[in-house]
């Protein structure tokens, strides 16, 4: 009997374009239900896809602090989120909600 070999799915391997990254972040924002750490983790996935060292440089952060901020284990400060979003080449926008 042959063994089935599986590998861990890593979304970062599938985020190739800025459009795919933006769509992924949009989907995560919709699913987050107010969980800031979940959004931070999504940004971490996108940063890994783009190259963590480059994103850290562009955001003006150390690579180590960027990994910690985007680990999903804590909620980083909003200033960090804004720096990372800018470094990823994404824009944050708002629209009217449905009441």
What's the number of domains the chain is made of? 1
The pTM score is 0.86
> Does residue 6 form part of some domain?
no
Rounded to whole angstroms, the Cα distance separating 63 from 83 reads: 13
Rounded to whole angstroms, the Cα distance separating 61 from 75 reads: 16
- As to burial, measured by CB atoms within 10 angstroms (0-12 exposed, 13-18 middle, 19+ buried), residue 55 is buried
Can you give the residue range of the structural domain that contains 54?
A: 12-87
Q: What's the pLDDT tens digit per position in 4-31?
A: 888 888 898 999 999 999 999 999 999 9
Q: What's the pLDDT tens digit per position in 52-85?
A: 999 999 999 999 999 999 998 988 999 999 999 9
Q: From residue 4, give the alpha-carbon distance in Å to each of 1, 7, 10.
A: 9, 10, 18
């Amino acid at each position: 009997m042959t063994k089935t070999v599986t590998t861990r799915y890593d979304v970062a391997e599938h985020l190739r374009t800025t459009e795919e990254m933006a769509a992924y972040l949009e989907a995560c924002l919709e699913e987050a239900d107010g969980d800031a750490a979940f959004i931070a983790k999504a940004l971490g996935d996108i940063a890994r896809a783009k190259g963590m060292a480059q994103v850290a440089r562009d955001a003006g952060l150390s690579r180590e602090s960027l990994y910690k901020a985007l680990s999903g284990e804590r909620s980083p400060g909003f200033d960090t989120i804004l720096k990372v979003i800018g470094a990823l080449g994404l824009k944050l926008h708002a629209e009217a909600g449905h009441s």
